[in-house]
Structure 1
Amino acid sequence: MSIFSFLFKEQNLPDEIQIMDREAYKEAISKGKVQLVDVRTKGEFMSGHIKGAKNIDFFQGSAFETAFSKLRKDVPVYIYCQSGNRSQKAARRLVDLGFTKVYDLRGGYSSWSH
């Protein structure tokens, strides 16, 4: 693995995952009802989140998978965390669970709120 691919892990993402910049993400989620999920902790979520987001904490193990089992796997899901690292891990797990389109916010909530 080159230092470049190590630093930019998103280069090795499965085809089902797409990283979006803030403006593209904002436009995509504004087009109606979407599956928008904040994978941060409850405390992080309560301190501020994107309007309409559902909180499913990535660190909750089987509860994370149970909550996502209630969402449609054939409909795109938009996820984010605080910085983008946790949501990339969550996105990989969602692909393993059978989700076909996962969109992740580049830079996470910290890029959204600044």
Structure 2
Amino acid sequence: MKQLVILPLLIVMSLSKPLQDQVITVLPLNKFIALTKDKDVQLIDVRTPEEFKQGHIINAKNIDFFSQNFDVQFENLDKSKPVYIYCRSGNRSGKAAIKLAKKGFVKILDLEGGYLNYSKNNH
């Protein structure tokens, strides 16, 4: 009898997952690098311009998470294509990913451990 009650509950819970859980994926470094090798991807560094100048992933575009026009700068991106994002450690990019999901981006891929992970692994 308990199984009859639990199964519908699990189905309802899976259907009610927040939008961001369905469109945001945190990727390990090796997979993130492999997927961003193509120069035609939407690769966004959400760190400050100062951090970006100190080093960044090749072909990344800098859109500062703390900028007043952060949301506006994403209007030129294609919401139907994947967006690859990273920050210093993963905190800001995680917050940025949630914002982008709410704005209608369908696939957001966040670098696990951010640029610190990237740089410490000799990239």
TM over 0.5: yes
CA RMSD of aligned residues (A): 1.2
Quote how far apart the aligned CAs of 1:32 are.
4.3
Say whether 1:50 aligns with 2:85. no
Aligned residues: 102
2:79 aligns with one of 70, 73, 90: 73
Runs ≥4 residues deviating over 4 A: none
Give matches, 1:97-108, under 5 Å: 97-108=103-114
Say whether 1:35 aligns with 2:60. no
1:16-75 alpha-carbon deviations (Å, 9 max, x no partner): 0000010000000013410000000000000000000000000113x1111001100000
Query: Measured at CA, do residues 41 and 32 of structure 1 come closer, stay the same or move farther in structure 2, by a change above 3 Å?
Result: closer
Determine the C-alpha separation between the residues in 1 that align with 2:38 and 2:92: 25
TM-score, normalisation: structure 1: 0.86
Say whether 1:21 aligns with 2:47. no
Which has the greater radius of gyration? 2
Query: Measured at CA, do residues 79 and 64 of structure 1 come closer, stay the same or move farther in structure 2, by a change above 3 Å?
Result: same
2:117 is aligned to 111
Say whether 1:64 aligns with 2:106. no
Q: Which runs of 5+ in 2 are unaligned?
A: 1-17
TM-score, normalisation: structure 2: 0.80
Q: Which runs of 5+ in 1 are unaligned?
A: 1-11
Determine the C-alpha separation between the residues in 2 that align with 1:97 and 1:70: 13
Percent identity among equivalent residues? 47
